[in-house]
Chains A and B, each alone.
Chain A
């Protein structure tokens, strides 16, 4: 493995460029700061999934379930109707712990399964979590959703829904920390174990790496990051929403972020989140509004409403992307080469 990047720098050049690009968003278009938070939330979920899928080579189709657990943990630990009320930071950290524990609980019995068997188990786990959250009304309030939830906070700074720009920058700082952590993991002993397990489990075992342990750690870390993203989303919504928010489609979206951006690359995941969420939550609604103002088409007709082309746009983008640039927008030197 060629270590070409100076590992002591906190961020690589690519990561800095993308973070700076995100930081410029509220300066260029302040009205998009609010939706910009969603990009960050999904970037963090993508980074978590990247550890599992990109670095360790385990296909996880239920990452959204950990997001759900994070959101509900955050809800229960911070909402005024429960006795805990840990506040934003306490809730966030504990949500991460809940995610990690859930990752271990799911991973321990199932990680010895081969690739696609594991995929269906994670998919099933996603469904189980969703239904359990819906049905355990005594704890989760079922489909009521838990609200209100505390906004992001920072001592000395007033952050509310009316100040989305401040909120955005706080989330960006959290993202920067996550990127920093991921980058350190990538170059750590554990990171190298993950790559080894991904490339060849048998050979890794010969090198005295315990694949099961390494996989479990990857699963737990990925789950913890996904839980953080869930908690951050809940804070944006000021509600856990309902369990169906964290369904299979969200897991797929996260997977697309990782793969379109560039599997295995932190910069890639960030780019992937900007492209996919930017397209989904910013560009398409903006086009829709613009068309409406210009009087072309209407939301009443399926064929002239841009929203109804979302699946088509996404689908075509994915297929073309895989044909033209299968390694993703940002190509990782260390990506899977099988």
Chain B
């Protein structure tokens, strides 16, 4: 492989990984923007999305409705889009229910109280994922292997689009990530910019009290935020599972950490910030793996984060925070 090929390959990998991180980061940043809560459970909502995806694919395969290996190209994509919507809805509703049951009654409590409640929810979800297991679900089989990583079947055909002899590998999965995340991001941006509810979101983010006085139903806005944030997390979990082909009950931890870092890097509360931050982290990881050493990659990522925050305390695209008195 020539140096150029290597570089191109790492950019592809960095972008693909980064887009997934960005999708998860959006969930963090939206919720934070509206209710100023670091939603610790978001990463684990994401995990459950992956498990639901595995269960659906497994059940379809087991019921011989479709054999993921023998699908035609179109139905592959249909299945993928179906999974994105299904798992997205599941995660959105889950996120919304968590908000209703746990966070909403604590809305006026100190921020740390909410944070700890979120940590608590995160623990509960991790445990649910542990019990969920793979296919067949371990509930029915005693579950000695429940904690092991699960193989996620290949949905898209895995050959190299640039030809088997090409050194640079570009697979359908990479394309799928772009084909699904970019429309989602554009859709979200348009939604927040153009719709009534989106305007409500922006207003609530700026000043919830003023927004309420202006007749905005802030409860509805908050609910929509959790729903959409969860949906994006669910969509990300499908992309993540399809891309990595493995899920485990602890996958939300690293994904969540990366995404949270991305959200802060870009400026927490800022939608474009989360996207930029996610892609940036993906690229930094790829470049560090290639040009430094993989064992130093985490150190590199967080050092970059600290450096950027030292010079731009509100992140790359974050607004300069007004002093609250």
Do these two chains interact? yes
- Shortest distance in angstroms between B167's beta carbon and chain A's nearest beta carbon? 30
- Shortest distance in angstroms between A254's beta carbon and chain B's nearest beta carbon? 12
**Interface residue? A338 (CB, 8 A):** yes
**Interface residue? A154 (CB, 8 A):** no
Residues of B within 8 A of A128 (CB): 298-299, 302-303
Choose, from B2-10, B142-150, B173-181, the stretch at the interface. B142-150
**Quick check: A134 and B295 within 8 Å, CB to CB?**
yes
Residues of B within 8 A of A322 (CB): 106, 109, 113-114, 116-117, 120
Question: Counting chain A CB atoms within 10 Å of each CB, which of B127, B253, B325 scores highest?
Answer: B127
- Please judge, given known A-B contacts A53-B112, A303-B143, A308-B130, whether A120 and B261 are in contact too, CB under 8 Å: yes
Residues of chain B at interface, number, CB under 8 A:
58
**Interface residue? B224 (CB, 8 A):** no
- In whole angstroms, how far apart are the Cα atoms of A309 and B124 in the complex? 9
- In whole angstroms, how far apart are the Cα atoms of A120 and B310 in the complex? 12
Residues of A within 8 A of B147 (CB): 302
Residues of B within 8 A of A335 (CB): 110
- Please judge, given known A-B contacts A117-B264, A127-B302, A323-B117, whether A312 and B257 are in contact too, CB under 8 Å: no
**Interface residue? B314 (CB, 8 A):** yes
**Quick check: B111 and A132 within 8 Å, CB to CB?**
no
The A-B contact count (CB < 8 A) is: 158
Residues of chain A at interface, number, CB under 8 A:
54
Residues of B within 8 A of A119 (CB): 38
**Interface residue? A169 (CB, 8 A):** no
- Shortest distance in angstroms between A103's beta carbon and chain B's nearest beta carbon? 15
Question: Counting chain B CB atoms within 10 Å of each CB, which of A112, A115, A302 scores highest?
Answer: A302
Interface residues of B (CB under 8 A from A): 32, 36, 38, 102, 105-106, 109-117, 119-128, 130-131, 133, 138-139, 142-144, 146-147, 253, 257, 260-261, 264, 268, 295-296, 298-299, 301-303, 305-306, 309-310, 313-315, 321, 323, 325
Interface residues of A (CB under 8 A from B): 53, 59, 109-110, 112-117, 119-121, 123-125, 127-128, 131-132, 134-135, 200, 202, 248, 252, 255-256, 259-260, 263, 300-303, 308-312, 314-319, 321-323, 326, 335-338
